[in-house]
Structure 1
Amino acid sequence: MAKKVSKFFRIGVEGDTCDGRIISSNDIQEMAGIV
C-alpha cells in the first residue's frame, strides 16, 4: 500500500524566535505567497 505524502509542512510559527527575531503572521503569509 502506498504511503500518502503531503506537500504541506511547517516552516515556522508566529512569535519570537530563539535568535531574537519576531515572526508576524504577515511574514508567514508572504513566505507562503498568499499576499
Structure 2
Amino acid sequence: MHPILMLYNNENNLIHRSVHRLTTVGYMEVFT
C-alpha cells in the first residue's frame, strides 16, 4: 500500500472514530 494512502486512511479512521464518539456522547446527553 502507498504510504500516503495509508496515512490518509489512518487519519480518516481517527476522524471517523472521534465523530462516532461525539455522536454517542451526544445521544447519551440527550437521553439522560
Answer whether TM exceeds 0.5 for this pair.
no
Structure with bigger strand share is 1
TM-score, structure 1 normalization: 0.28
Structure with bigger helix share is 2
